[in-house]
Structure 1
Amino acid sequence: MQNVYSFQTAGQIIAGKDSIQKLTDHLYVIGQEVKSALIISQPSISELGFVETIKNQLEQKEIHVTVNLDILPEPTVENIEEVFQKTSETQYDVLIGIGGGSVLDTTKILSVLMTNDKEVRDLLGTNMVEKAGVPTILIPTTSGTGAEVTPNAIVTIPEEELKVGIVSRYLLPAIVLLDPLLTVGLPKPITAATGMDAFTHSLESFISNKANPLSDMFALESIRLISSSIVEAYENGSSVEAREKMLIGSMYGGMALTSAGTAAVHALAYPLGGKFKIPHGVANSMLLPHVMEFNLDACTERLALVAEPMGLEVRELSDEEKAKKVIDKISEWTKTLEIPQNLEAYGVKDQDIAELAVSASQVTRLLNNNPKEVSISEMETIYRKLLS
């Protein structure tokens, strides 16, 4: 537990069913008159009508609107810079990102590219952004990344076959809008992967070396909300109650990691996404029980504290028994939610393991948060648990 800790998040959070219909009521938060807006999204989101809903509201207020739907599912440096080239000739008063983590992260990055004379690669790392960006409004359509409330953005570096983070307070949005109705239509695989991603954020934040009273509050409430709703959201996607719990739980997970950071699960997941294009939520879900089993002896008491918020009956058990029940429940979820359990399905072979481990070992920003040091050989062992 850290002696000195800090917390930062979005300027204003608006939440609730149909809150998307009230977006323009909150534009005053931007702090300037909004005459021009850029909406960033993807074709699949646009087809659901969400982009048009926002566009119509803005145009009714005589705001000029441009829409860009060119964001890739796992955006690369080149993809983001191509979108920037297409959109940078116009000056915008606000950027609005509506979609999953890829869209939200790209919107953040575009906002600072528009005000900083830098390329994406210049911004990689922590506190490399010099000036505030164009104000942003972030609207998640999945319950997973928590990207809407974090100062982080993840980008794929193809030549390094790795995902790398940009971390800056200037990436925090002016407004976050959380409407559970936007997540009701999520397909089962996306519900599962993004939901487990959100749970991973909270659990890793809770056992992080940087865990603190602020991050603990958000992490434990996130764990409680997600644990009580993830299976229901998966099996009954039209349950607005379950979807709302997942959406708020995901946001709390983002708030937790903002203060405490994620750890070895994410570090090992990044090369899987960078080299084999395994979706981030799937990679985290696959790794989570195995990394927690590895960490067990270093964070038994912390894992034990998670059992009750997860809804597990553990009153008479020892801390070690409670912690093991937590890991068992996570493994059970991966089966119930049909999370893939074999890296071979994505083309990973045994001869790839050494290179994956070396790549993961370079993600020191996250590995330093892990409660237990992980050697390269131990990383190889964890990866091999997912080869069968």
Structure 2
Amino acid sequence: MPPIITFIGWHDSGKTTLAAQVVRLLKERGYTVAVIKSTKDTGVLPNQDGTDTGAYSQAGADAVTLVAPDQLVMMAPQPEKNLPALARRFFADMDLVIGEGFKEADKVGKIEVFRGEGTRLTEQVSGVLAVATDQDLADPLVFALNQPEKIADFLEKEYIRVPSAHNRKVHLIKTRQGKAMNSMQSFTVTQPTRLQFGAGTVKDLGKTVKDFNGSKVLLVVDPGLVKAGLLERFTVPLEQEEIPFVVYDQIDPEPGLKLADKGCAIAQEAGCDCVVGAGGGSAMDVAKAVSILLTNGGKAVDYLGLGLIKKPGVPKIMVPTSAGTGAEVTFTAVFINEETGSKGGMNGDPLYPDAAILDPELTLSLPAKVTAYTGIDALTHALEAYTSTQAHVVSEMYSLEAIELIARNLPAACANGGNLEARAAMLMGSLLGGKALATAGVGLVHAMAYPMGGMFGVPHGLANAVLLPYVVQYNLPGNYEKFALLAEVLGQNTDGLSRRDAASLCVEALYDLNADVGIPATLKDLDIPFDQIPKMAEIALTVTRPVENNPRQPSLADVIAVYERAYRHEIVL
């Protein structure tokens, strides 16, 4: 059954005028809208005595339809004025059915039009959700009569059905054309990184270094790769091209600024003019930072912030061995400040890698637990970029494709690490998620994850994963439309649901995905002390860019409440 809302009010209250304005606005936004008006005046109907249609009706026809060149009118007996039955019978495929009258209709949301004359219908009927009025009323939801666009916004977010799966991409295009393009949205997309993707492509690492005129390499590598005996996957291609290198493998999962400074000192002493980052986000972030320190001078702490890096770095080439951070295509490097315990990032175009080699074979040995953490991290990048206030048509394309790839393939990659097809899909999803966040940014999940890493050493991907369902639950009212579409991309059946109901399925899908891949459910599971939540909330709100990008602007009390729900496992499905 289609979503239904009906306007009720006393005679001459202005129901028709207001409802017609709302219909016009919704049609301009690309929706299909049907109207069913209740009337006691049978004289307005075309099947009167003496007319052809009247003759058919009097003859006992079950229905009579009058067809003109540009419209039709159907007449049929309707013993009961049952609004839901009428909507289901005639307008099942509409995005919204608007009624006028039908104040006694059951299970139908109602908007009362009230001009201050007579008694309130709210006192006589059930299901009144809002009032449109020119009076000063204390109702929970009040719209001004001269602001029909506010009512249209409300209906769009709360009532209009989510498009079915086969119409989703068409709907996205219509929505974008009807809103962002008409408002002449401005955005910038920087894509400086040369990408090479495919199984076995790491063999071209030495050739890639030569393409960027590198003569000696600082190889920043995840120590886990060294322990696993995988270092040769990176050193042999360099040796084959007779490129000397120095290995720097003293990288922590949550790297501090001093690791970047130390790497720079090693590179300077060895005379390195190219940096290769091989491993997860930590190794790549250190490599990116070393690259710009070699040309800009100073210490890593000098470049925490946005736009503080003035000169391009030496050539830097990234080779990710996990599908998670997307650091191979972003302009950010994240570190813990050892002096303050806080976590923050260097941000600027000089941090974009010059090249990235994405070889899914390098991810085959990644443990299931790390696969899960990094995979949900990549999903978080894409999801937060999609719902960011800075999102645009290009970032949304990256985000949606990334989310679909990750949601479909992460369970398979965790269950069977040797599944090369799933690993390749995850690596591509991480790449696209990185591209999305590089141009649209991330949101509150990341801001709240930072103090978890800085204060308690929780790995970044794990912190994001645990927080994600709780933050999305908080964010739902900020953009029901997008979260409803995300629910569908995540595999939920949203056909025929209102935006609000469909959006809630996004939370359920994320919670279930976390459970499927073994993500802990609560902050308590991570041994985070409950009494530290207020301090974490204060720190989270200082991470200004993600907070500003968030679809809802949180207060300190909001952030504390989300942390507490994540601690107590309070999630409504």
Q: What's the TM-score bracket when you normalise by the shorter of the two chains?
A: over 0.9
1:378 corresponding residue in structure 2: 558
CA distance in 2 between counterparts of 1:68 and 1:249 reads 28
Aligned to 2:139: none
Q: Deviations over 1:25-60 (max 9, x none)?
A: 334541x3x321111112211233443222122122
- Please list the CA deviations of residues 46-79 of structure 1 after superposition, one character each: whole Å capped at 9, or x if unmatched: 2334432221221222211111111111111122
Q: Which has the larger radius of gyration?
A: 2
Deviation at 1:120, TM superposition (A): 0.8
Count of paired positions: 386
Q: Of 185, 208, 214, which residue of structure 1 is paired with 2:388? A: 208
Q: Encode CA deviations 1:130-152: one digit per residue, 9 max, x unaligned.
A: 11111011000110000000011
Assess, with a 3 A threshold, how the Cα gap between structure 1 residues 259 and 357 changes in structure 2: closer, same or farther.
same
Corresponding residue number in structure 1 for 2:375: 195
- Cα distance, 1:92 vs structure 2: 1.9
- Correspondence for 1:260: 440
CA distance in 2, matches of 1:311, 1:175: 34
Q: What is the DSSP-based 3-state SS (H/G/I as helix, E as strand, rest coil) of the residue aligned with 2:310? A: coil
Q: What secondary structure is seen at the aligned counterpart in 2 of 1:281?
A: helix
Equivalent position to 2:204, from 14, 19, 22: 22
Q: Which amino acid aligns with 2:203?
A: Q
Q: Residue in 1 aligned with 2:298?
A: 118
Q: What is the RMSD computed on CA atoms of the aligned residues? A: 1.5
In structure 1, C-alpha distance between the alignment counterparts of 2:554 and 2:196, rounded to whole Å: 40
Matched residue type, 1:13: L
Q: Secondary structure at the match of 1:312?
A: coil
Output the CA distance in 2 between the equivalents of 1:9 and 1:46: 31
For 2:339, give the aligned amino acid.
E
Q: 1:362 aligns with which of 517, 520, 542?
A: 542
Give the conservation status (yes or no) of the 8 Å contact 2:246–2:270: no
Mapping 1:227-238, distance limit 5 Å: 227-238=407-418
C-alpha contact 1:9 1:150 (8 A) present in aligned 2: no
Residue in structure 2 matching 1:4, options 183, 186, 189:
186
In the TM superposition, what whole-angstrom CA distance separates every residue of 1:290-329 from its partner, at most 9, and x where no partner exists? 1111111111001112233223222222222221111101
Choose the corresponding residue for 2:514, options 331, 334, 355: 334
Matches within 5 A, 1:237-256: 237-256=417-436
> What SS does the aligned partner of 2:562 have?
helix
**Do 2:404 and 2:489's aligned partners in 1 also have CA atoms closer than 8 Å?**
yes
Alpha-carbon distance in 1 for matches of 2:268, 2:348: 21
Determine if contact 1:304/1:319 at 8 Å carries over to the other structure.
yes
Higher mean alpha-carbon deviation, 132-141 vs 345-354, is at: 345-354
**1:39 aligned counterpart, secondary structure:** strand
* CA 1:369–1:157: 2 relative to 1, 3 Å: same
- 1:26 and 1:351 map into 2 onto residues whose CA distance is 50
How do residues 1-388 of structure 1 correspond to structure 2 at under 5 angstroms? 3-30=185-212, 32=213, 34-388=214-568
Output the CA distance in 2 between the equivalents of 1:152 and 1:323: 31
Stretches of structure 2 that go unaligned for 5 or more consecutive residues are: 1-179, 569-573
Higher relative contact order structure (alpha carbons within 8 Å, sequence separation ≥ 6):
1
CA distance in 2, matches of 1:265, 1:338: 19
Contact persistence 1:92–1:134 (CA under 8 A)? no
Larger mean Cα displacement after TM superposition, 157-166 or 210-219: 157-166
TM-score, structure 1 as length reference: 0.96
If each structure's helix is expressed as a fraction of its own residues, which one has the higher value? 1
Aligned sequence identity (%)? 35
Distance (Å, rounded) in 2 between the aligned partners of 1:37 and 1:281: 29
Give the whole-Å Cα distance in 2 for the aligned partners of 1:215 and 1:47.
37
